[in-house]
Amino acid sequence: MLKLNVNGTLHEVDVEPDMPLLWVLRDHLALPGAKYGCGVAQCGACTVLVDGAAVRSCAMTAAAAVGRKVVTIEGLAADGLHAVQQAWIEHEVPQCGYCQTGMIMSAVALLKDKPRPTDGEIDAAMTNLCRCGTYTRVREAIHAVAGNAAPKKA
């Protein structure tokens, strides 16, 4: 049995220690927000926060998450929407939506570390893949949350 702190709740899960955290979240804790994309930590659809940092949950084992705080899109805001989620709506970021939970989680981690990021810092941090190409709107939404009057060049 592994004890995982997910979205502020301690869960005991009976899984193999080397099971990817993504499968624990989706299949054992019924938290489907993190999506399976590539399975090799490249696309970012499975991104969650672990101790506040953006982590690709397909490449992190369940055992590696023990003793750490995991936050999924479902636990991002206690009431209503997180500011990043609201900005995503206001800037019409999603198209197909598949990558958006991972993008949002990456943006939250970025803004925690860099409250007023430049375009270059956003581009460097937002390594999630979006097949619909919404990168410009992602940047605009992040700047809106940061309160940047106009995007700054890096």
CB 62 within 8 A of CB 88: no
**Global pTM value:** 0.93
Q: Which fold has domain 83-146?
A: DNA polymerase; domain 1 (1.10.150)
d(CA 50, CA 22) in angstroms, rounded, equals 12
**Residue 54's beta-bridge partner residues?**
49
Q: Determine which helix (DSSP H) or strand (DSSP E) holds 122, and give its type and residue range.
A: helix 119-125
Residue 17 in tokens: 């220690």
pLDDT per residue as tens digits for the range 69-98: 999 999 999 889 999 999 999 999 998 889
Homologous superfamily assigned to 2-74: Beta-grasp domain (3.10.20.30)
Residues 6 or more apart whose Cβ sits within 8 Å of residue 80: none
Boundaries of every domain in the chain: 2-74, 83-146
Give the three-class secondary structure for 42. Answer: coil
Range in 13-17, 99-103, 114-118, 131-135 with the lowest mean pLDDT: 131-135
pLDDT of 105 > 90? The answer is yes
Residue 55 in tokens: 């982590």
CA angle 107, 111, 25 (to 5 degrees): 45
pLDDT of 150 > 60? The answer is no
